[in-house]
Structure 1
C-alpha cells in the first residue's frame, strides 16, 4: 500500500506540475513530450517526457503508470488513482493517497467514477457507453467487454447495478480531453 500510494502521488504531483508550468492550455494533450521520439501510437501529450529521477532512473508519466504501477500492482484501480488532468479522467483524490486508508479510498474513487456518466452511462435504448479508459486498458478490467461490465458492476451503486444486470456488451466509449480546470476568476 505504501508503494502504491507513493507512485500514485508522484504521478499526480508531476501531472499538476506539468499543467501548471504550461497553463493556460485547453487540454493536457496540447503539451508535447520533449526529449523523446514521437509516440509510435500517435498520442500527443507530456506522458513520455522524462520528468523525475527515481533510484537513478529518469522516468516519465508513462513509465510510472505503464512500467511501474500497472505491472507491479496488477490492480485496475490504478486508473482511478492517477489523474491526467482531463474532464474525462476519474476525479483526482482530494488529498494524498495514504497506505492506511488506500483500499477504502481506491474503492471510493472507483465507485465515484463508475457511478458518474463520465464512467458509465446506460443509454436510453439500454446499451452501455463507458469511458474510453475501459477500452484503452481493457486487459486491466478483465480482458473483454464482459470483464469490463463485471468490473463496473462491482463498483456500481444499486440503481446502476440493477441496470447493468445481464449486460455484457458495450455499445461505445467516450472521453473528454478538455482540461479539468476552474473557470477564470474563481
Structure 2
C-alpha cells in the first residue's frame, strides 16, 4: 500500500486545480473568439404563437413614457446617438420600470400587425436600456450575463401573454420572421457604439415605415455603417452577420445603394474589391 504524504496530496490538489483552471481559461478564450460569429447572429426562427393579429383593430398602444425617457437621456449626434446612463435618477428609473410592466401586461396579438411591429421595437429598446441601467457602470453590454455567454441576449428578461421572452426571442423569433423586413436591424438597438443609433422618436403604427427608412439612411451615412479604409469598402459587421436577410431580398450592396447618398451609391456601384467589416461593442454612453 502506498502512503501519500500531506505534501504529495497538497501538490496533486494544486496541480489538478491549476489544470482545471487552465482548461476553463482555454475554453473561455475559445468561446470569446467564436462568440462574435456564433452568438451574435442567431437565425431567424418562426414562432407561430405570435403570428396572430386583429387587422381591423384601431387600438393604439401608448409609448409616451418611453418617449419622455428618450427626450431626457438620449443625445443625438452626427456620429451616433449616446445615452446618459449615469444621469438617470431613481424616479425616472421607476417610470421606466412602470412602462415595461405595462408593456408586458399587454397581449400584442390583439392589435393590428402595424401596432405590433411598433410595440416590439419599442419594447426591445426599452428593455435593453433598462438592462444596462441595472448593471451600470459597465463598459459593454457583452459583459452582462454569465461568463459562458456572449452578452445577455439569451437571458429571460420579460414575460408577455404567458410566454417568457429573451431579447433574442423578440428580435429573431418574432420581429425578423414575422415581418421579414431587413430594416429591423436599424431599429433594434444593442446599446453599443457600432450598433445603428437608438431612435430618438418612438415607433408607432403610423410612423414605423418612414422611421425605418430614415434610420437606414442615417446608418449608411455614418462611418460605422459604411466607410472606406485604405480604399477598401468597410461595412458594419451587421451586414456580415445578417447577410442572408439582405441577400434573400435584394443583396447587401444594392440595399445600401437604395439608402445611400447619390455619391456613395455611385461609388458602391463601381466597387469590385474586397469587402471588410468592423464593429465596436463599446457602450453607447455619453461620457
TM-score by length of 2: 0.58
1:148 counterpart = 2:252: yes
SS in 2 for 1:77: helix
Output aligned runs, 1:129-144, within 5 Å.
129-143=234-248
Distance (whole Å) between structure 2 residues aligned to residue 58 and residue 172 of structure 1:
37
Distance (whole Å) between structure 2 residues aligned to residue 96 and residue 169 of structure 1:
39
Distance 1:123 1:143, change over 3 A: farther
Distance (whole Å) between structure 2 residues aligned to residue 54 and residue 115 of structure 1:
36
1:26 counterpart = 2:135: no
Runs of 4+ in 1 over 6 A off after TM superposition: none
Distance (whole Å) between structure 1 residues aligned to residue 239 and residue 115 of structure 2:
26
Counterpart of 2:84 in structure 1 is none
Distance (whole Å) between structure 2 residues aligned to residue 140 and residue 31 of structure 1:
27
SS in 2 for 1:88: coil
Distance 1:4 1:169, change over 3 A: farther
Match for 2:262 among 146, 158, 161?
158
Distance (whole Å) between structure 2 residues aligned to residue 169 and residue 66 of structure 1:
31
Q: Which entry has the higher C-alpha Rg, 1 or 2?
A: 2
Runs of 5+ in structure 2 lacking a partner?
Answer: 1-113
- Structure 1 residues 115-124 or 20-29, which shifts more? 115-124
Runs of 5+ in structure 1 lacking a partner?
Answer: none
Distance (whole Å) between structure 2 residues aligned to residue 169 and residue 99 of structure 1:
40
Give how far 1:68 is off.
0.5
Give how far 1:124 is off.
3.9
Counterpart of 1:86 in structure 2 is 192
1:112 counterpart = 2:112: no
Alignment deviations for residues 68-125 of structure 1 (CA, whole Å, 9 cap, x no partner): 1010010001101100000000000002111111111110000000111100113342
Give how far 1:168 is off.
5.6
Give how far 1:170 is off.
4.7
Match for 1:101 among 189, 207, 220?
207
Give how far 1:48 is off.
0.6
Distance 1:33 1:82, change over 3 A: farther
SS in 2 for 1:121: strand
CA RMSD, aligned part only? 1.8
SS in 1 for 2:227: strand
Give how far 1:4 is off.
1.0
TM-score by length of 1: 0.88
Which structure has the highest helix share of the two? 2
Counterpart of 2:117 in structure 1 is 4
CA contact (8 A) 1:122 1:163 kept: no
Output aligned runs, 1:25-64, within 5 Å.
25-32=138-145, 38-39=148-149, 44-64=150-170
Counterpart of 1:74 in structure 2 is 180
